Structure 1
């Protein structure tokens, strides 16, 4: 009987292997406007075994009303990001659960507009992200809702780290819309359709160029010769559960896993 069952066991193992090799992602797009036709202020992607598509539903984030699309069955995060943001620049942040950039648990896509928006995944912050002509990038998080006061967290990224997809501080990888790595990954598969359109990028209380330059100088990154990180991580690097991802991936879901 053991011999008779062997082909069945091998078939099951091959099926499990095939399923494991094809990651399926869900995306949550957050908008400031109630028609969800502008460019999202942030997109979060996680692996999940279940997903319910939702179109432009009202959600409360940091005591403010935002609007969310949920998209299911995404097979390529990079192609999807390109579809959502279109011709506009964006920054992809991969957050890993284990040292050495193992066990990817969250992908966040930010518009690189240099404008102020609320962060939905890194705590009660507002966030500015910018991409420069030389390929370097800036991500700055503020401890209030209006990108005012002292910067609490800075990422000042050298173009080399971005273009090569380096593992930074053991837990992060960064890409931009101009990264060759994204172009390579994006050509491998076709994502699920997205209902978003990349209309005019809207911004609220956009910091001036002088303010952004001040952040860069304060970080000691003149010329972007090296990557400088002042990242006060709020959560442990454990593997994120993906079976209960129907709800929005917001600051509370991460802050519950405090250090």
Structure 2
């Protein structure tokens, strides 16, 4: 390979040759390590083989930046390919904040929390969830109203202010708007929900929030939530 061609090849991120690109055009690739100009080592890439997975699979191909010849990198064992979500708040902490209990506690873990601003949490959907036998026996999918409820509970984490020991109040639905269900959620999915505070009227204890839920990085549900805090009496 000539020097100019080699330099261009490296700068482009150690791209595979054109025949390899065409052969793999049905897959989506993301860089696992940044391309460098001071190394002729192989560049690893991630193969997104499962669009419903919340993490891309760390599989497999690499190409030589020296001679353009494809090589195969040994697969990472499947049990090591998917890292776990962080636990900013585990289920025990969530139970201290939210008043919900089985079978209506629909938040398993908070993975990101910005006090008074937003929260991101997950719900691991399993076939053992009690709504699946009736919705539907032949094609079990998570009811849309429960996706909305799960997202509202994530919003409750923001409203109840766990960073200051909790507001000692309950929160309630006051309204929903612009709700859209984009894709079905099925057993085995991890529902990732982000709730962001848009507007807060402290005097009346009313908040407007924007919510989006994802599976495998794709939006499955979104909407605007109007929520209120107050005494349960």
> How would you bin the TM-score normalised by the shorter chain?
under 0.3
TM-score (norm 1): 0.20
Structure (1 or 2) with the larger CA radius of gyration: 2
